[in-house]
Amino acid sequence: MTRAARFKEIGKNTYEELKKYSEENQKHIHGHDLKAMTQEMGIEHKYPLKRIRLAKEGQDVGSDRYNELWRYGAPVMDEDEEKRAEKTLLGIAEWIEQRL
Residue range 16-50, pLDDT digits in tens: 777 777 788 777 666 678 888 888 788 899 999 99
Per-residue pLDDT reduced to its tens digit, 45-81: 999 999 999 998 789 999 989 989 999 999 999 999 9
Q: Is the pTM of this model over 0.75?
A: no
36 contacts: CB under 8 Å, gap ≥ 6: 27, 28, 29, 64
Total Cβ atoms within 10 A of residue 49: 22
Q: Cα(34)–Cα(20) distance, rounded to whole angstroms?
A: 18
List all residues 6 or more positions away from 32 whose beta carbon is below 8 Å from its beta carbon: 64, 65, 66, 67
- Structural domain span for residue 90: 2-99
- How many beta carbons lie within 10 A of that of residue 32, not counting itself? 14
Residue with the larger pLDDT of the pair 45 and 4: 45
Domain count, the chain: 1
For residue 50, the model assigns a pLDDT of 93
pLDDT score at 86: 95
Q: What is the dihedral of CA 42, 51, 95, 10, to 10 degrees?
A: 40
